[in-house]
Amino acid sequence: MKKYNFIRIILILSFFVFSCNHKKFHEVNQNENINNLKKIFDDYYFQFKDIEYFSAVSFTMQCNGFNNSLPITFQNGYKINSNSFSSDEKINLRSIFQIGSLTKSIISILLLQIMNDPLYKDKNISLEDGIEKWININDFPSLYPWRNVTLLQLLNMTSGIPDYLKNSKFLDTLINNPDKHFSKSELFSFIDGNNYISESNFEYSNSNYLILGVIIENITKNSLENEVYNRIIKNYNIHSTFFPSHFPDQNLNINLVNGYYYDFNSLILPLKTNISNYSLSYANSAGGMLSTTEDFNYFIQNVFNSKSIYLKKFLIDMAVEIERDHDFSEFYSMGFGIKKDLKNEELSFKHTGMTLGFRSMFTYNPDYNLSMVIFVNSSIDNENIEKLIHFLNEEIYSRNYCKKL
């Protein structure tokens, strides 16, 4: 009996030692993986910060099985671009960037929420509704040629409506009056009715989401800012995310990152111009929001892992339907860019964004619940942050950092 108890004790101790060693090995290996990703991130920062005139980069990722499936954030740099920095100017988890067209993904989810809200059931909102059902065309006569364009066409960028941001008159007005508070009527007036694009063909146009913002206001009888706050910011608990109608609230200044114009391809401003004090009214529902990488990651994770599974199912079903009908490897659906991996047939979601002084990007792979969000405080139209995401993905997938769901 004593011998049996002795053997039993030895086995228990051996198992305990093995468990501790295994846990320690896992932690060491996990730390090594994190360091590998951090090195790729830091290499990007030091290689391009002077070339692209940015001073701050923030990156957040999260996936199943890595870092206990919790988000992890890498950051480097300072809120301002200067030859001398003070420690209080170093960016942190609360540092706020302009997110540009990532706003569109939020507006899309907002509209889907409203469509599924019993409060508006009697309004019979459909993706096949034409613009004129929800907007009085007499208020915005420039929309008359596109009055029959549907909500789905607006969401999927197949409306044929020209991009107001590409109108030279708009650009002149913005550059000469950077603190101007643009009304929606003024922005609509820059939609050029003579620049007609064929419907059904994909053509990225910021006008689509400007129109969707007005439609949301007309359906709800509330301001778009209030709807975004109540249904997105408050609902998802992302309180470092903001949708200013004009200038950012002065109370945010302590966390706001400066943004710098540095686009050699479109010299509409002197290079290195700090655009942080420009009004965001020009971007509106097409790109006027502010956030942190942690907040936006949390938003994406909630959208695709929400208890209201209709969001995830709807987005994926729509993506599959468009891909089946058109057989594209990359396309646009419901405020999200979609990419199909031709090797394994997997679909992933993404969106890029840019304002006059910021760049942004997120990606999401539902098979691994892998989300990545990156914000940079300079505007230059190149693919370097996409390349960074590519290198990070290569590291993650080649070493199996994330577990498939």
Q: How large is the average pLDDT for residues 16-29?
A: 50
70-79, 155-164, 257-266, 306-315: which range is least confident on average? 306-315
Which residues, in sequence order, are CB contacts of 244 under 8 Å at separation 6+?
225, 280, 288, 290
pLDDT at residue 10 tops 80: no
Residue-level pLDDT at 345: 61
Q: Which residue has the higher pLDDT, 21 or 201?
A: 201
CB distance 326 to 320 below 8 Å: no
Residue-level pLDDT at 337: 80
Instruction: Give the chain's mean pLDDT.
Output: 87
286-296 residue pLDDT tens: 999 999 999 99
pLDDT at residue 25 tops 50: no
The alpha-helical segments, DSSP class H, found in 229-354 are 234-236, 284-287, 293-304, 310-326
Residue-level pLDDT at 307: 63
Token reading at 13: 């101790």
Q: Which domains does the chain have, with CATH numbers?
A: 56-79+98-398 (3.40.710.10)
166-197 residue pLDDT tens: 999 999 999 999 999 999 999 999 998 766 66
Phi/psi for 338 (5° steps) reads -120, 135
The CB-side HSE value for 205 (13 A sphere, CA atoms) comes to: 30
227-239 residue pLDDT tens: 999 999 999 999 9
pTM: 0.89
330-345 residue pLDDT tens: 677 778 887 776 555 6
Residue-level pLDDT at 87: 59
Residue-level pLDDT at 311: 64
CB distance 371 to 300 below 8 Å: yes
Token reading at 40: 């790729």
10-14, 170-174, 177-181, 212-216: which range is least confident on average? 10-14
Residue-level pLDDT at 305: 87
Q: Which residues pair with 290 in a beta bridge?
A: 98, 242
